[in-house]
Amino acid sequence: QSALTQPASVSGSPGQSITISCTGTSSDVGAYNSVSWYQQHPGKAPKLMIYEVSNRPSGVPDRFSGSKSGNTASLTISGLQAEDEGDYYCSSYTRSSTPSYVFGTGTKVTVL
């Protein structure tokens, strides 16, 4: 159950677009449409931002979008805003003898 690989940090100016990658293997990201993304502010619980690769829960701004190609998933934030600053984690189901889930290493997003 190795963690999915994310860049440690990504930054952008207000209004710009940024993309966070999430690289796994053919046993997790590449095998299932289960990639989800979570936003976490300091001292707070994570919040679901994207599920099943590209779906947004109710209440999540449409500037957040998700995609997947092969073993790599991506989260794009368009029109970056100050409140988007925080940590972001991807997650995927992973092939095992029983249900199992793996998270990414996390990416700190800084709004310059």
* Contacting positions for another protein (CB under 8 A): 1, 3, 32-34, 36, 38, 45-48, 51-52, 57, 89, 91, 93, 98-106
CB of 84 to another protein, least distance (A): 19
Is the CB of 14 or the CB of 38 nearer to another protein? 38
Task: Find out whether 93 and 4 touch, Cβ atoms under 8 Å.
Answer: no
Complex with another protein: residue 63 or 108, whichever CB lies closer: 108
Residue number with CB closer to another protein (17 or 55): 55
Min separation Cβ 85 and another protein, Å: 17
- List the beta strands (DSSP E) in the chain: 9-12, 18-23, 36-40, 47-50, 64-69, 72-77, 86-93, 101-103, 107-111
Residue type for position 58: S
> In the complex, what is the shortest distance from the CB of residue 13 to another protein, in angstroms, rounded to a whole number?
26
Burial class (CB in 10 A: 0-12, 13-18, 19+), 107: buried
